[in-house]
Amino acid sequence: MKKLVCLFVLVVALFLPLLTCASEEISVSAKGAALIDGASGRVLFSNNADQMLPMASTTKIMTALLALENAKLTDRVTASANASGVPGTSIYLSVGETLTMEQMLYGLLLRSGNDAAVAIAEHVAGDVPTFVEMMNARAAEMGVDAHFENPHGLDEAGHSASALAMAQMLREAMRNPDFREITGTQKKVIPWVESEFSRVLSNKNRLLRTCEGATGGKTGFTDRAGRCLVFSAEREGMELFGAVLNCPAWFDEAEEMLNYGFEHYHLETALVAGAVACETGVSGGMADKVEAVADRTLAAAVGEDERWSVRYDFGDGVRAPVARGEAIGTATLSIDGQPVASCKLLAKQSVEDRSMMKALKRILMQWLLNFRS
């Protein structure tokens, strides 16, 4: 009997870690959900993350990004009748009213103004259809699963994206410091030309007030899309990006996903931009070796039981001549053998071609001999 009890205890002890790990997995009600690592883009949590779904006003992440990439914050943006008349959430632009692009972007990202979205689109591209073409071209450039039919996110056939695409889109947008500043602002006052009052814009992203380290994001809602939220947060130097589409408990589940990510992963930095990564041989050069530096920081979120490694690849080898700053190879960061991120390796020093130097030396010696004679 004692042997059976001991055997039972041993079996429970062996399988308890597995049971614990399973219970730590989170479940969400969202029809699509994704959480990614900001440093590498690695997916840390997903639930139907690739399913194409309507994304409502989270669309405005792309609208804002294109505005910042193709216009100046000081541009004067005038609202047309088309912009003023668009239905849904607005900042109540009057026909002919003019604000700066910066003020329009605050109206777009904090108040979620559909009128601001159309005014921005018309200013940047001349008309909405051309701007939508720009949106889809930028999505293709990013390599994300998204298709746009308008700049504001109101329900329209074919207007959809995956949760993973929206998280990736926010990650890309947050590389722009102006976007990061605007989306992370909780309250902003902008002019209201035809009123004795100013427009007081409060950010609809509640996570900025309730979630530790929240950095930005965008809310969205339509009857067809349900509640949508794209979000980000940074803790101890690691930033995570996520999205929940058609999610009744949008803020609660977003925060639960972030907490899961921060509790189970930590940031590992393999290479620092500009720092020497390794040394490699050079054939046919005045020097036998050259130092290689990373063109950008190579880092990723790594789980507690995961192992990471870096592999350097110089193709068929480095041959002189080599110019300082020339790309001579790549470094790939892998986790448990799976590649998650890579960067270019640049030559830290120039290496002259040995044969060329010998030829120059011969020419110089001949010139000296001729000069003496």
Q: Which one from 31, 40, 60, 218 is the annotated catalytic residue?
A: 60
Whether 183 contacts 198, CB under 8 Å: no
State yes or no: is 358 an active-site residue: no
Paired strand residues for 278 = 292
2 catalytic? Reply is no
Residues 40, 80, 90, 112: which is the catalytic one? 112
Q: Which tokens belong to 365? A: 């010696």
Q: Does residue 57 have an active-site annotation?
A: yes
CA nearest neighbour of 200 among 270, 288, 111: 111
Catalytic residue among 31, 40, 46, 57: 57
- With helix as H, strand as E and coil as C, how does the chain read? CHHHHHHHHHHHHHHHHHHHHHHHCCCCCCCEEEEEECCCCCEEEEECCCCCECCHHHHHHHHHHHHHHHCCCCCEEECCHHHHCCCCCCCCCCCCCEEEHHHHHHHHHCCCCHHHHHHHHHHHHCCHHHHHHHHHHHHHHHCCCEECCCCCCCCCCCCEECHHHHHHHHHHHCCCHHHHHHHCCCEEEECCCCCCCCEEEECCCCHHHHCCCEEEEEEEEECCCEEEEEEEEEECCEEEEEEEECCCCHHHHHHHHHHHHHHHEEEEEEECCCCEEEEEEEECECCCEEEEEECCCEEEEEECCCCEEEEEECCCCEECCECCCCEEEEEEEEECCEEEEEEEEEECCCECEHHHHHHHHHHHHHHHHHHHC
CA dist., res. 341 & res. 103, Å (int): 37
Displacement of CA 36 from its chain's centroid (Å):
9
List residues with catalytic annotation.
Answer: 57, 60, 112
